[in-house]
Chain A
């Protein structure tokens, strides 16, 4: 295969077809799975957990699989280059793990019809591009349920990252479930405009604590807010993206864990079996994509029990995190009594639910 080929650009299409064929034909070689990461694998958060998923694939299939990854890939032409490079090197399946890779994934996928692509958190698909995302809001609901009961000041702080549907969904889910168990609860929300900036996150946590919050939820990835809460004492936090168990049992009382392993293993299996089809996956606690980290004993036993019950109900589908009656912030009706939110509205959520104070920044 090391034959050096000098190809003119006109022959590009043919080469791609050939490459695709070789990747497809030799079923005896290990299945090759590529991962494109937006951050370093050592970020302890988003990319770290995707890499854990990659390691789980290696663990599950041993010699039958070969995984490769490239980290710190900026969104844009670099991402397209890295994806193409993986496809040319014979990858059968490529996971692109950042929303910003969306257009590049589709573009590269169109050139390699025989390579399967999986784009995380996006909404554009094609014959060989699937999308997958996690219903993190289910985890937020559990957090809200716990937070609403353990708060004494009735002020819950929320460190938000960017004003996008994913984050807004999390705020709404946490608020609805906190309010269900504690009608007096109040949310203070700060937008940090970053996914990861320890210094800024620490400041955000401090500000919220100073303004009376005794529970701090975070949608940013560093452990800085945990440390700030620990220093302040008597403040509860929840791990984000990773378990952050080094801060258990206090301040961290539970966590939302991104667990991509089951999905990555299943999709790799599908490629091996030849059963892979393009689909949109949005899994939650039930499928194991969203993990709820151990609820520590800092939480009263009855709260812990009811939180675990809620977790299990969300997992088996008997409870939906967004169940009516729910009004929008402006008082207009959104969900009637017993009605559950449809995925389309959730995917593009750009409003607060009734009771949350403040505006979503534009």
Chain B
């Protein structure tokens, strides 16, 4: 065993990259859940985003256009869920699960002719000055741009929910949709927008896998990342700041256990892998502020 082989700087740097796809998907789902909607279809939206982004990036040669297409693709798919749950008043849990099934099938059909192709390169940014700072530079300032886009979205969501009027409306809708409706807010419109934002973010997260992380298209390539994103939202008790912590914790446990293994430490992999989920449950129990939005998962119909 040689723990000195683990370089903490590189470990933290790779953590930032590893956490990005789940962070992107999770921040979208956080907004959806704060609006009182539980969309379990994150995995389906991610993978549709992954293939949409890949197709456009390969055909145009531009990863940026790919990411835009991924966001659009994810949002369009989420709209299916939105219409179903908001207009047809379907159960959200069942609709979300159906969305995952649908998305996995759709992405596989869309991607039939895109196997074995490499995505166009998406180089890292070496941010001048900041990137040269010792220790912090390599950890924080030498990544690809989407890492920062992800962080910016988290920051934006935090500011939006905390300071903007629209954010207040969104939270009101999530806490008590009947009261929000009585105050004259458009519950359904707010929720549809939130759902589409969630879809777009999930799409970005999926495209980060297909365009940066892997970068290639293969069926089922999200391999459960969407479900982890759902867990992180809960772990974060619906707070954007803690979302970062959650994404790094979940990503971190994987990176850490691989590091320990490579250093020659015999560890029970399965038990370490389940630990973040158990931690999430513990967090749910002990954090009194970890209360879910009041209307989470409940169907809204304007009584007249």
Task: State if A and B touch, Cβ cutoff 8 Å.
Answer: yes
Could you tell me if B115 and A227 are in contact, using CB atoms closer than 8 angstroms? Answer: no
- Once A190-B262, A246-B116 are accepted as A-B contacts, the answer to whether A222 and B14 lie under 8 Å apart by CB is no
Whether A1 is near chain B, meaning CB under 8 Å from some CB there, is no
Whether B288 is near chain A, meaning CB under 8 Å from some CB there, is no
- Looking at the assembled complex, report how far the CB atom of B71 sits from the nearest CB atom of chain A, in whole angstroms: 20
Q: Which of A12-20, A98-106, A193-201 contacts B (4 or more CB under 8 A)?
A: A193-201
Residues of B within 8 A of A222 (CB): 214, 216, 218, 221
- Looking at the assembled complex, report how far the CB atom of A201 sits from the nearest CB atom of chain B, in whole angstroms: 9
Residues of B within 8 A of A246 (CB): 116-118, 216
Whether A223 is near chain B, meaning CB under 8 Å from some CB there, is yes
- Looking at the assembled complex, report how far the CB atom of B124 sits from the nearest CB atom of chain A, in whole angstroms: 8
Report the Cα distance A202→B117, complex, angstroms: 18
Residues of B within 8 A of A113 (CB): none
- Looking at the assembled complex, report how far the CB atom of B118 sits from the nearest CB atom of chain A, in whole angstroms: 5
- Once A42-B115, A43-B220 are accepted as A-B contacts, the answer to whether A358 and B14 lie under 8 Å apart by CB is no
Q: How many residues of B contact A (CB 8 A)?
A: 43
Could you tell me if A44 and B214 are in contact, using CB atoms closer than 8 angstroms? Answer: no
Whether A203 is near chain B, meaning CB under 8 Å from some CB there, is yes
Whether B6 is near chain A, meaning CB under 8 Å from some CB there, is yes
Write the chain B residue with the least CB distance to A198.
Answer: B214
Residues of A within 8 A of B266 (CB): 358-359, 361
Could you tell me if A357 and B264 are in contact, using CB atoms closer than 8 angstroms? Answer: yes
Write the B241-259 contact mask toward A (1 if CB under 8 angstroms, else 0): 0000000000100110011
Report the Cα distance A205→B115, complex, angstroms: 22
Q: Which of A204, A227, A359 contacts B258 (CB 8 A)?
A: A204
Report the Cα distance A198→B214, complex, angstroms: 6
Could you tell me if B262 and A157 are in contact, using CB atoms closer than 8 angstroms? Answer: yes
Residues of A within 8 A of B112 (CB): 42
Whether B134 is near chain A, meaning CB under 8 Å from some CB there, is no
Could you tell me if B108 and A42 are in contact, using CB atoms closer than 8 angstroms? Answer: yes
- Once A157-B262, A207-B262 are accepted as A-B contacts, the answer to whether A40 and B7 lie under 8 Å apart by CB is no
Residues of B within 8 A of A211 (CB): 5-7, 259, 262-263
Whether A31 is near chain B, meaning CB under 8 Å from some CB there, is no
Could you tell me if B262 and A203 are in contact, using CB atoms closer than 8 angstroms? Answer: no
Report the Cα distance A192→B213, complex, angstroms: 17
Whether A310 is near chain B, meaning CB under 8 Å from some CB there, is no
Q: Which of A43, A208, A358 contacts B218 (CB 8 A)?
A: A43
Write the A37-48 contact mask toward B (1 if CB under 8 angstroms, else 0): 001101111001
Interface centre among A42, A207, A211, A247 (most CB of B within 10 A): A207
Report the Cα distance A207→B7, complex, angstroms: 9
Whether A224 is near chain B, meaning CB under 8 Å from some CB there, is yes
Could you tell me which residues of chain B, from 1 to 20, have a CB within 8 Å of some CB in chain A? 5-7, 10-11, 14, 17-18
Write the chain A residue with the least CB distance to B210.
Answer: A198
Q: Which of B37-45, B75-83, B147-155, B268-276 contacts A (4 or more CB under 8 A)?
A: B268-276
Total contacts A to B, CB within 8 angstroms? 122
Write the chain A residue with the least CB distance to B216.
Answer: A223
Could you tell me which residues of chain A, from 19 to 55, have a CB within 8 Å of some CB in chain B? 39-40, 42-45, 48
Write the chain A residue with the least CB distance to B4.
Answer: A211
Whether B225 is near chain A, meaning CB under 8 Å from some CB there, is yes
Write the chain A residue with the least CB distance to B256.
Answer: A207
Whether B137 is near chain A, meaning CB under 8 Å from some CB there, is no
Residues of B within 8 A of A199 (CB): 18, 21, 209, 213-214, 223, 225
Could you tell me which residues of chain B, from 90 to 134, have a CB within 8 Å of some CB in chain A? 108, 111-112, 115-118, 124
Whether A176 is near chain B, meaning CB under 8 Å from some CB there, is no
Q: Which of B216, B254, B258 contacts A44 (CB 8 A)?
A: B216
Whether A189 is near chain B, meaning CB under 8 Å from some CB there, is yes
Whether B219 is near chain A, meaning CB under 8 Å from some CB there, is yes
Could you tell me if A202 and B214 are in contact, using CB atoms closer than 8 angstroms? Answer: yes
Report the Cα distance A189→B223, complex, angstroms: 22
Residues of B within 8 A of A359 (CB): 266
Could you tell me if A202 and B111 are in contact, using CB atoms closer than 8 angstroms? Answer: no
Write the B62-77 contact mask toward A (1 if CB under 8 angstroms, else 0): 0000000000000000
Q: Which of B14, B215, B218, B225 contacts A42 (CB 8 A)?
A: B218
Residues of B within 8 A of A193 (CB): 269-270, 273
Please name the 10 residue pairs, one residue from A and one from B, whose CB atoms are nearest each other, closest first.
A210-B10, A40-B219, A198-B214, A197-B223, A207-B258, A190-B261, A42-B219, A211-B5, A188-B262, A359-B266
Interface pairs (22), CB distance under 8 Å: A40-B108, A42-B111, A42-B218, A44-B216, A44-B218, A48-B115, A188-B5, A194-B223, A196-B223, A197-B223, A198-B216, A198-B218, A199-B209, A200-B254, A202-B214, A203-B251, A204-B258, A206-B10, A207-B258, A208-B262, A231-B124, A358-B266
Extra pairs beyond A192-B258, A198-B213, A227-B214 (5, CB < 8 Å): A44-B115, A202-B214, A210-B11, A211-B259, A211-B263
